[in-house]
A and B are shown apart, each in its own frame.
Chain A
Amino acid sequence: MSGNYGHRLEFGTFVTPTNASPETPVALARRSEELGYDLVTFQDHPYQPAFLDTWTLLSWVAGRTERIRLAANVLNVPLRAPAVLARSAASLDLLSDGRLDLALGAGAFWQAIEAMGGRRLTPRESVDALGEAIDVIRALLAVDDPTPASYPGEHHRLDGAERGPLPAHHIPIWLGARRPRMLRLVGAKADGWLPTLGPVEPDALRAGNKIIDEAAREAGPDPAEIRRLLNISGRFAPTRQGLLHGPAASWVEDLLPLVVEDGVGTLILMTDDDATMTRFAQEVVPALREAVDRRLPAPLPTTARRSVTVRARRRPGIAYDEVPPSLVDSAVEPGDVGYSQVKSNYMRGGAPGLILRPGTPAEVADALAFARAHRDLPLGIRSGGHGISGRSTNDGGLVIDVGRMNEIRVLDEATRRVRIGPGARWMQVAAALAPYGWALTSGDYGGVGVGGLATAGGVGWLARKHGLTIDHLRAVELVLADGTQVRASDTENPDLFWAVRGAGANFGVVTAFEFEVDEVGPVGWAQFALDASDPELLVRWGAAVEAAPRDLTSALLMGPPRIGQPRVAQVMAMVDSDDPATIVGQLQPVADIAPGYDQQVVITSYASVMANASDGPHHGQGEPISRTGFVEHLTPAFAAAANRLLASGVVYFFHIRSVGGAVTDVDPDAMAWSHRGVNFHVSAFGRHRGRLDALWDDLFAGQLRGTYLSFETDQRPERLADAFPPRTLARLRELKARYDPDQLFRDNFAITPDTASRTTP
């Protein structure tokens, strides 16, 4: 008696992939999704011309569904090369956002396989070949191993193949199996067993489980890790006629022992009949769940459970088993497949103990409740993971990653009101607005996430013409430290709305932004490489930019001087105009500040400039070391200081961006971000904290006016005073006392609450 193995109870459908009416299996897959099934599966017989190719169909269905998981039932390995299958599986898993399961079979119908050009194998060979195929697939998907994959199998070989791609989740491998050799293979290597009821009667299920469990114990894994699936078929009838032939209640009676006694964790209904599918989902599934939970000592989990190997890598001090159910499946912990892709951010290496990935405001509230129960641990809030000041990763702590909340939706075309989730990247925002002839000024790098930037400021390629990103913000929805969901705008919680625009990281997790965006057509985009040997270059660039019409926004990049190489400044500029004469006319004075080595001017779109970034996974290492500040004019004294900084060898990257223009139009008291009178934003990145701080403090003493927290990594308390003038900071401390008195949000330039004014909100 094997009993139940404690897996979440799941239900699937088995749909005939007929090609006579190719839309039918697709419609049945969508219907399965609508009815709440966990899984839709298709048989795979590549020699059968009446069927659609199963892999093609799975990929197509992935494009036409949102939630339901997909699997073949089962894939014909003799006609599908395992190495290509591994990469195809990873691709489909990525494209479907982790919805692929891999069910494999050793093959049958050998005459048909041979007729297709496949190789006939004996039953014994076919099991060996399947075992090798599993090894090949696992080897290619083991991306954490940096060495090329080699595998000297008898049937399948790898000889120095590159591994990857990394799928979105651990793709379980299930095997269709009946005979003892195959069952032993399930126990030794697979994540699940997928037989069909009929050929396999309940007695055979028990015998099969026994063989699998024994083989699993021998090979090492806990037998309970192996999911037991079962294809079933039957008919509904007013009265019981036999096994799975009768009213819903008799189905429940028949299925109950399979789950409770024979450990079946997934029931897959083989039918193409909408009525049967519907009735099973609506009448059998809920009744069976209830009956199972009544019969078992404890109810079955409602979320996927993590394997022993995953649990072994958990960090201390985190109540992993108390993660709210709404977040369990999407959470990533150190042993999970995708961990290496989410542990670090763009500029910073990390090893958090748990990454929670809420998809709704309610789930953000759940995540914050979990964070409140772990106050001793670092807490990072991540949207795109590009934060320099923001610690959106840590070592052994929690990260709340809102990347899934990335919807971009036009609310009103007439007023150009757009609602954007915090997880969207600016390149996606730009691409979504381009078809309307609109743009929203953002940062200068398309991979950056909306949440971090739109709560901090937003200095980018349209700054002089269109101001800061936060200048376009009209409302936000956020979850406060205590889990309350609130909306803030000029008329709703206006003080919170004031604080979010510049100091948002201290007040909550924004779940939606509403912006009023601008009409922006094609733009001119220039990149110049200029001779920087003259120390006055910065002065001339600064003067040219300040004198330019607001259409033009520019930035300048320099590195340290290199022996034997000319000094070069990279200057980039965007001109918000589609008229070639205007573009060239406005760029000329900037290009003329020094002799040029190279130049490129194109007419393109804002979206296209923002698309010059990757929003792929981050693999930052170490800690970024930077200093930053604002300056009104690039004076000769400033240029001298900058040149000394560059010549010191302490700085490897020096960056000035134009602000000014429309940024200065806004009242400094209108929002928490208050540096309205400045024309330039200056940043430097170095490798040594102490040396950079010492030099920066010395060289720029008295020259800088305030700082932009997004680019600052100096943790000394003076920086907060640089970021917020006294009146602003006082108001922020008062509000902190109201909205986050216990300082849950403290990892990104914490504002200490003004305890004197501590009141309840």
Chain B
Amino acid sequence: MSDYGHDLLFGTFVTPTVQPVRHAVDLAVLADRAGLDLVTFQDHPYQPRFHDTWTLLSYVAARTERVHLSGNVLNLPLRQPAVLARSAASLDLLSGGRFELGIGAGAFWEAIEAMGGRRLAAGQAITALDEAIRIMREVWAADKPGGVRVDGEYYRVNGAKRGPAPAHQVNVWIGAYKPRMLRLTGRVGDGWLPSLQYLPGGPGDLATMNEQIDESAVAAGREPAQIRRLLNVGGQFAPTGRSLLDGPPEQWAEDLAGLALEHGVSAFILGSDDPAAIELFAAEVAPATRELVAEERARTAAG
């Protein structure tokens, strides 16, 4: 049982399909209007059937008012970290503090290489991600004296100017599953962003993975609660309940409240391109889940 006590966030994970051109934009605008907290897009720059995620995030930010935006997760190997840092700060400034940085170490190395990128082994890619996060946070630290100097194995920044500072503290959320990535998340992440469908043991895996993040956080002198636990989820709405996240909205709320209270998940990101599902998630599931979690937290606090 681990509830880190964060406010709950609800968001969408929309396929950034390039045809129809405005598919992802329209669903993002819908999520914004429906009152969701987050719109996220996967990032596979080698995949021509998807929009470039950075371009899409920037365009969508301009077409929405309130919702926060993030890659889910950005592909570091094909994005230059110092440029990414300034791009992120720029988007945060333009959008009035609505950008968050979901990022991953990369996968599909053959496709990355085909694009002219550099192939890294898993361990190397994690070190590279660690270096990139350091570079980005240094660039954002506009008030610190001197230039940015990170002399990494994979990324070298040697005296680049700092800034701009983003409009708000941009959260670095890390897509992680394996022990080294989980430790990196505990050490430097502002959040952990896995997908429920990729957990081989289902939601039960969250407990052991959370433990690894927590231990690494403590070892680095951080509070485990500094790391928000986010989760990509999928499912369907049906008149009667059948299994986890397959049933009516009330059942979804109970399922998600369970994940929040038992495993400390405080951001639920719905993988769906169905407008009706997105609206139900926003209008019914989100408020009901918040209510259930608030009741339980109040009961625990009182008890």
Q: Which residues of A contact B (CB under 8 A)?
A: 19, 22, 26, 46-50, 52-53, 55-57, 59-64, 79-84, 87-88, 90-92, 94-96, 112, 114-118, 136, 140, 143, 148, 156-165, 168, 431, 434-435, 522, 524, 580, 583-584, 600-605, 607-608, 611, 614-617
Contacts and interface: CB of A to CB of B under 8 A. Distances in A.
Interface stretch (B2-10, B161-169, B172-180, B195-203): B161-169
A117 B240 CA distance: 56
Nearest to B110: A160
A49 B164 contact: yes
B155 A148 contact: no
Contacts of A46: 82-83, 86
Contacts of A88: 52, 54-55
A753 to B, nearest CB: 39
B94 A84 contact: no
Interface stretch (B16-24, B218-226, B295-303): B16-24
Contacts of B93: 19, 22, 52
Interface in B33-59: 33, 45-49, 51-52, 54-59
B276 A607 contact: yes
Contacts of B58: 55-57, 59-60, 63
Contacts of A605: 275-276, 279
Nearest to A584: B239
B145 interface: no
A52 B89 CA distance: 8
A53 B286 CA distance: 35
Per CB-CB distance, the 4 closest pairs between chain A and chain B, nearest first, are A63-B62, A164-B48, A616-B19, A608-B276
A617 B135 CA distance: 42
B113 interface: yes
B54 A56 contact: yes
Interface in B234-289: 236-240, 248, 273-277, 279
A523 to B, nearest CB: 9
A407 to B, nearest CB: 14
A116 B238 contact: no
Contacts of B63: 63
A48 B90 contact: no
Nearest to A607: B275
Contacts of B82: 46, 116-117
Contacts of B135: 117
B275 A62 contact: no
Contacts of B81: 117
A19 B116 contact: no
Contacts of A583: 239
A55 B55 contact: yes
A616 B236 CA distance: 25
Given A91-B55, A616-B20, A431 B26 contact: yes
B127 interface: no
A114 B56 contact: no
B19 A614 contact: yes
Interface of B: 18-22, 25-26, 30, 33, 45-49, 51-52, 54-63, 78-83, 86-87, 89-91, 93-95, 111, 113-117, 135, 139, 142, 147, 155-164, 236-240, 248, 273-277, 279
Given A115-B147, A117-B82, 19 more contacts: A46-B83, A47-B160, A49-B163, A53-B87, A56-B87, A60-B61, A63-B59, A63-B60, A80-B83, A81-B78, A84-B78, A112-B161, A161-B46, A165-B51, A431-B30, A431-B275, A584-B239, A602-B239, A603-B237
Contacts of B51: 91, 94-95, 165
B156 to A, nearest CB: 6
Contact of A158 (B25, B116, B162, B248): B116
Given A79-B80, A431-B26, A608-B275, A117 B156 contact: yes
B275 to A, nearest CB: 6
Contacts of A94: 18, 21, 51
A25 to B, nearest CB: 9
B209 to A, nearest CB: 31
A436 to B, nearest CB: 13
A115 B55 contact: no
B138 to A, nearest CB: 12
B158 A114 contact: yes
A91 B49 CA distance: 10
Most buried by A among B25, B89, B116: B116
B48 A87 contact: yes
Contacts of B111: 161-162
Nearest to B57: A59
Most buried by B among A19, A50, A614: A19
A49 B90 contact: no
A608 B277 contact: yes
B201 to A, nearest CB: 27
Given A49-B142, A164-B48, A602-B237, A611 B275 contact: yes
A87 B47 CA distance: 9
B59 to A, nearest CB: 5
Nearest to B167: A22
Nearest to B44: A87
Most buried by B among A84, A163, A164: A84
Contacts of B62: 59-64
Given A63-B59, A163-B48, A604-B237, A55 B87 contact: yes
A84 B79 contact: yes
Contacts of B57: 59
A57 B275 contact: no
B115 A83 contact: yes
Given A63-B61, A117-B82, A431-B275, A95 B90 contact: no
Nearest to A62: B59
Contacts of A19: 89-90, 93, 164
Given A22-B93, A53-B87, A115 B159 contact: yes
Contacts of B116: 81-83, 136, 156-159, 161
11 contacts: A52-B93, A53-B86, A57-B58, A57-B94, A81-B117, A91-B51, A116-B160, A431-B26, A434-B275, A602-B238, A604-B274
B44 to A, nearest CB: 10
Contact of B56 (A52, A91, A136): A91
A102 B78 CA distance: 20
A249 B117 CA distance: 53
A158 B54 contact: no
B275 A56 contact: no
A56 B90 contact: yes
Contacts of B274: 604, 608, 611
A116 B83 contact: yes
Contact of A56 (B49, B94, B248, B276): B94
Nearest to B159: A115
Nearest to B79: A84
A52 B18 CA distance: 26
A100 to B, nearest CB: 10
A164 B164 contact: no
Contact of A617 (B19, B33, B49, B56): B19
A615 B20 contact: yes
B155 A117 contact: yes
Nearest to A49: B163
Most buried by B among A50, A59, A156, A434: A59
A617 B26 CA distance: 18
A158 B240 CA distance: 51
Contacts of B142: 49
Contacts of A524: 239
Contacts of A604: 237, 274, 276-277
Contacts of B158: 114-115, 117
Contacts of B21: 94-95, 168
Contact of A116 (B33, B90, B157): B157
Contacts of A95: 21-22, 25, 51, 55-56, 59
A522 B162 CA distance: 52
A117 B116 CA distance: 17
A584 B239 CA distance: 9
Contacts of B239: 524, 580, 583-584, 601-603
